[in-house]
Structure 1
Amino acid sequence: MTDIVSADWVNDRLGALKLVDVRDAWEYDGLGHLPGAVNVPFETFRTGEDDSDGMLPTEETWAALLSEAGVGGDDEIVAYDDHHGVFAARFLVTAELLGHDPDRLHLLDGDFSAWQRSFGTTSEPTAVEPADYAVDPPDETPLVGPEAVSAAAEDPEAVVVDTREQSEYAAGHIPGAVLLDWRDLVDTESRGLLPRERALELLAAAGIVPEKRIVLYCNTARRISHTYVVLRELGFPEIGFYEGSLTEWEAQGRPLVTESE
């Protein structure tokens, strides 16, 4: 299961992990990076093509990208960014959906700025030996389509969750969805996940509890990636991941509700 790990945990295992920095190349080169990290910028895997699923890159694109970065199919990966983990979470969820062992996928709690408070960085380029990454998607994934989202909105045992900002939600959201801005689960001081009990209280206040099936969406599946990883970390057993999100929903002419309605 993709989880969240502390900077101390990562520092104790430097050299045994494949560290993936998903910031832009200029940030990786100019601002420094974690020792040994390779750079796989978010822009290189952020959207799919006509024959891909939702916003996911194609299997061929993903395999080529990770192979070039020297990432192997058996590597234990820690991903990070400098935006509270939202872009790194997207990398990890993409890896999980395309078949990387989720038990070997980790999100750095906090981000690059948080790491710098306690540990060193480097501007030295990381030597990369190309790998031969093979994509092997699992038979079952958390992916759900628009029909499943509609059904969940009518199901009292499920909760459809919009992880965007309040203004976006007010402008138009899927009928029956509750609002949970993904950033509400981030501690502004530590830049990482809220303390566990605080996070669970916030979720429960929105009706998001482990006893229910949770279905997540945003606009392009980036923000739900962070919420997905956090909910897994908190022990939520059943999470649906609407990869198409509002991009697909609106393209199909499906209904939206505004806050004024």
Structure 2
Amino acid sequence: MDATVSKRWLLARLYEPEQTIVDCRFTLGQPEAGRDSYEEEHIPGAVYLDLKLDLSSPEREHGGRHPLPDPEVLAARLSKLGIGNDSRIVAYDDENGMNAARLWWLLRYLGHEQVFILEGGFSAWKAEKYPVTDHQPVRVPSTFVPNVQPQMLAGYEEVRSVSQRTLKDEANPSAANSSSALPVLVDSRSNDRYLGQNETLDPVGGHIPGAVNFFWKDTQNADGSFKSADELAEHFAGLPKDREIIVYCGSGVTACPNVLALEKAGFKNVRLYAGSWSDWISYEENHRNGDLQ
């Protein structure tokens, strides 16, 4: 089954007991806005998970603006909400799926495959006159046991090595260390941020040297749904399918829709650099050595 589900699909299964709907709405710069919106109205039966409080851990010196949550802490939160290892989760937001995709990626990282994203998000659901409510459900706690999949992650040291080797190979294509075996770094931010222009979220603009740019919103249609597999394959046609792809963004959130889109397009080996650009620039060695573009 695809990683996304339609509004009609969810409506037909709205009250199935094995399913948990999760509202992931969150507005950068307005940390209370998502929960306030949830409390005002949401899809019936939905519970709320906060990007900063639930789907991230507190910021540290390194790790970026939205460090990954501790698996055991997140598992305890899921358990309290009645989400167990047999649950089917449908996530939605109102931010083109970026926060819902963060939950989608995190659950898969914890070894849970039965997780999907609602196409179009909450506004599209409401626009179709589907039911909404302000009632917050009472959930019976369950047990979620994480089975962490570390192979889904790429760490800072590995990304730095890939970047340096990519630049070296680009400078000397005939070298024995051919870049054809290297992972490809994909920057998911808008092109102006990739180019170091109009940077409003991080203190330093630019991109990881050697990375190519595929803006995450270009994977979607005007209504916020993801493009078809064929359309996404065409969109990512410049990337080799026989190589590993490491995806990053500003803080590891908007990279997640790109991970989903790449997998939908047929790429089999896609990993996330969770700390992303905000983690990269936290290391002075990059500044000292001029490793910013």
CA-based RMSD of the aligned residues comes to 2.4
Cα offset, 1:53, TM superposition: 7.4
For 1:98-113, list aligned pairs within 5 A.
98-99=110-111, 101-102=112-113, 104-113=114-123
1:21 aligns with 2:23: yes
Aligned 8 A contact 1:145 1:242 in 2: yes
The one-letter code sitting in structure 1 at the alignment partner of 2:220 is V
1:214 — aligned with what? 245
Q: Who is 1:73 aligned against?
A: 85
Alignment-mate amino acid for residue 90 of structure 1: R
Please say if residues 110 and 191 of structure 1, whose CA atoms lie closer than 8 Å, have aligned partners that are also in contact. yes
The answer on 1:193 being equivalent to 2:226 is yes
- Aligned residue for 1:149, secondary structure, equals helix
| One-letter identity of the residue aligned with 1:168 | R
Query: CA shift at 1:96, angstroms?
Result: 1.6
Aligned identity (percent) is: 31
Instruction: Show structure 1 runs of 5+ residues with no match.
Output: none
Q: Which amino acid aligns with 1:200?
A: A
TM superposition shift of 1:227 = 0.9
- Aligned counterpart, 1:124: 135
Contact 1:142–1:241 (CA under 8 A) maintained in structure 2:
yes
| Correspondences of 1:37-116 after superposition (within 5 Å) | 37-49=46-58, 55-99=67-111, 101-102=112-113, 104-116=114-126
Work out whether residues 144 and 241 of structure 1, in 8 Å CA contact, stay in contact via their aligned partners in 2: yes
Does structure 2 conserve the Cα–Cα contact (< 8 Å) formed by 1:20 and 1:37? yes
| Partner-residue secondary structure (3-state), 1:44 | coil
Q: 2:115 is aligned with what amino acid?
A: L
Is 1:12 aligned with 2:43? Answer: no
Whether the 8 Å contact between 2:121 and 2:224 is mirrored in structure 1 is yes
Equivalent residues of 1:2, 1:105 under 8 A apart? no
3-state SS in 2 of match to 1:198: helix
1:156 aligns with 2:166: no
Q: Which residue identity is paired with 1:143?
A: L
The normalised TM-score by structure 1 is: 0.86
Aligned length: 251
How far 1:209 moved relative to its partner? 4.2
The CA distance in 2 between the partners of 1:81 and 1:33, in whole Å, is 10
Contact 1:4 1:229 (8 Å CA) reproduced: no
Contact 2:187–2:215 under 8 Å retained in 1:
yes
- Structure 1 residues 125-134 or 79-88, which shifts more? 125-134
Contact persistence 2:232–2:262 (CA under 8 A): no
For the pair 1:142 / 2:152, whether they are aligned, the reply is: yes
Deviation, structure 1 residue 59: 2.6
Q: Distance in 1 between matches of 2:262 and 2:210?
A: 20
1:179-202 deviation per Cα after TM superposition (whole angstroms, max 9, x unaligned)? 1111111212x2111233333222
Contact between 1:40 and 1:69, CA under 8 Å: does it hold in 2? no
- Unaligned ranges ≥5, structure 2: 26-33, 167-178, 197-205
SS at match of 1:11: helix
Which protein has the larger Cα radius of gyration, Structure 1 or Structure 2? 2
Cα distance change on mapping 1:2 and 1:193 into 2, 3 Å: closer
Distance in 2 separating the partners of 1:59 and 1:202: 33
Residue 151 of structure 1 and its aligned partner are, at CA, apart by 4.5
Q: Whole-Å Cα distance in 1 between the matches of residues 241 and 13 of structure 2?
A: 32
Asked if 2 retains the 8 angstrom alpha-carbon contact of 1:164 and 1:181, the reply is yes
Corresponding residue for residue 179 of structure 1: 213
Q: Which amino acid letter does the alignment assign opposite residue 215 of structure 1?
A: I
Aligned 8 A contact 1:2 1:107 in 2? no
- Residue 20 of structure 1 aligns with an amino acid whose one-letter code is V
Instruction: Provide the TM-score with structure 2 as the length reference.
Output: 0.77
Shift of residue 2, structure 1, vs aligned partner = 7.7
The Cα shift of 1:170 comes to 1.1
SS in structure 2 of the partner of residue 160 of structure 1: strand
